[in-house]
Amino acid sequence: MESVTLSDSLNAGPLALLLQGVLADTAKRHGNRLPGLSSRLGLVASESREEVTLVFHDDGCLILPGLVEPDLTLQAESVLLPRLQTIPVVLGLPLFASPAGLDLLRSFVRHPLKVSGLGLLFKNPARVARALLDVARLVSLLAGTY
């Protein structure tokens, strides 16, 4: 069984296919699983406005079309995800002072990451905290530091 799957109802656009590829590659590096992730993250590609929800479960991920009750939603350029995999790691920490790291940081300055859903913090702080922790873990997994 694959650890990263697309929903049957998903008309796979560029963002969904990119996510499936990047997350499947990441899972392969970690024993065909995505350890420690358990939230629902909404992602919006700023260049195409494509929306998907990543539902993490049992060390895997299901990619759903649209924003389906996400714990947190991130909006950014879709090309940022593959760039995280190119950042060199030294002693388990990403080296942002590298050319790839500086390129990623410049991209964040030109096109900032937008986060929405923090209003849920007042209703269900544990859910938002778990989602924020999952975002940090996911970045670590993608960069190869976790």
**Is a pLDDT exceeding 70 seen at residue 113?**
yes
Angstrom distance (rounded) from CA 48 to CA 28:
28
> Which of these, 45, 48, 115, lies nearest to 81 by C-alpha position?
45
Are the CB atoms for 42 and 67 separated by under 8 Å?
yes
Has residue 60 been placed in a domain? yes
Has residue 86 been placed in a domain? no
> Which of these, 45, 98, 12, lies nearest to 4 by C-alpha position?
12
**Is a pLDDT exceeding 90 seen at residue 108?**
no
Angstrom distance (rounded) from CA 115 to CA 73:
6
Has residue 95 been placed in a domain? no
Has residue 85 been placed in a domain? no
Is the pTM value of this prediction over 0.85? Answer: no
Domain of residue 71, CATH code: 3.30.1050
Token pair belonging to 124: 């269900």
Are the CB atoms for 27 and 34 separated by under 8 Å?
yes
Q: Average pLDDT in the 82-108 region? A: 77
Angstrom distance (rounded) from CA 16 to CA 65:
8
Which pLDDT does position 146 carry in this prediction? 55
Has residue 30 been placed in a domain? yes
